[in-house]
């Protein structure tokens, strides 16, 4: 409900990992009209698996990893630092001031690329990608709405905040000052 409220009322939003995933589920249900959209983490039988178990990815060492629902849960994480290509003119690109960033991950569920065209046709843009995996999303007509699959808090420090977190705080402060 809070994600929908932030999206509909132009309130700055930063969704990290599960927060990004839930922002996509919210958008799918309320904008795309996929009322039963969900993550397979919560409903394995959802007719619209917006978020699904990563079945194949390139790991941090460059090796191809394959997973199934029967793989041991401890070995199914996408873990470590990965490259992410940022989309030009996105809030993500502006925050980092770079076309390629490196951020840390710790997750086993990922945005389902089968829904990409539906999301983009209704205004949720894919603004970060890594080897075909969706790393970041933004709502096109929103002043500052960013969901990231990675964990910017892992590298944020008081004297050197992560660019995504700093940009979010600045956007939130600007929205309060009108």
Longest dimension (CA), the chain: 51
Look up 129 and say whether it is catalytic.
no
Which CATH number is associated with domain 2-176? 3.40.50.880
pLDDT tens digits for range 117-152: 999 999 999 999 998 999 999 999 999 999 999 999
Catalytic residue (one of 17, 107, 110, 142)? 17
pLDDT at 167: 98
Look up 17 and say whether it is catalytic.
yes
Check whether 61 has a pLDDT greater than 90.
no
More confident residue, 62 or 159: 159
Please state, in angstroms and as integers, the Cα–Cα distance from residue 142 to each residue in 6, 28, 88, 169, following that order: 9, 16, 16, 16
Please, what sign has the CA dihedral across residues 42, 17, 53, 79?
Answer: negative
- CA-to-CA distance for 159 and 135, rounded, in angstroms? 26
Across 45-50, average pLDDT: 96
- CA-to-CA distance for 93 and 127, rounded, in angstroms? 8
Look up 151 and say whether it is catalytic.
yes
- CA-to-CA distance for 132 and 20, rounded, in angstroms? 17
Catalytic residue (one of 83, 129, 131, 151)? 151
Please report the DSSP string for 60-90 in residue order: TTS-EEE--TTS-GGG--EEEEEEEEEPTTS
| First CA to last CA distance, the chain | 24
Across 156-165, average pLDDT: 96
- CA-to-CA distance for 121 and 175, rounded, in angstroms? 27
Catalytic residue (one of 8, 44, 81, 153)? 153
Lowest mean pLDDT among 14-28, 33-47, 63-77, 140-154: 63-77
More confident residue, 68 or 48: 48
Check whether 36 has a pLDDT greater than 70.
yes
48 pLDDT band, cuts 50/70/90, is very high
Check whether 74 has a pLDDT greater than 90.
no
pLDDT tens digits for range 77-105: 777 889 999 999 999 999 999 999 999 98
75 pLDDT band, cuts 50/70/90, is low
Q: Do 161 and 5 contact (CB within 8 A), yes or no?
A: no
Residue 71: CA count within 13 A, CB half-sphere: 15
pLDDT at 4: 99
**58-28-66 Cα angle (round to 5):** 20
What ranges do the domains of the chain cover?
2-176
């Amino acid at each position: 409900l809070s994600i929908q409220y932030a999206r509909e009322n132009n309130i700055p939003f930063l969704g990290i990992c599960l927060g990004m995933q839930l922002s996509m589920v919210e958008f799918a249900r309320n904008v795309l009209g996929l009322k039963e959209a969900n993550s397979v983490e919560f409903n394995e039988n959802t007719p619209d698996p917006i978020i699904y178990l990563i079945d194949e990815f390139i790991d941090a060492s460059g090796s191809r990893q394959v997973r199934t629902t029967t793989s041991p849960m401890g070995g199914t994480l996408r873990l470590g630092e990965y490259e992410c290509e940022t989309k030009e003119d996105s809030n993500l690109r502006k925050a980092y001031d770079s076309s390629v960033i490196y951020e840390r991950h710790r997750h086993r569920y990922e945005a389902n690329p089968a829904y990409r065209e539906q999301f983009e046709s209704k205004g949720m843009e894919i603004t970060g990608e890594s080897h075909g995996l969706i790393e970041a999303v933004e709502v096109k007509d929103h002043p500052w709405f960013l969901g990231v699959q990675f964990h910017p808090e892992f590298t944020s420090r008081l004297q050197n905040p992560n660019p995504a977190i700093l940009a979010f705080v600045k956007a939130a402060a600007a929205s309060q000052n009108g």
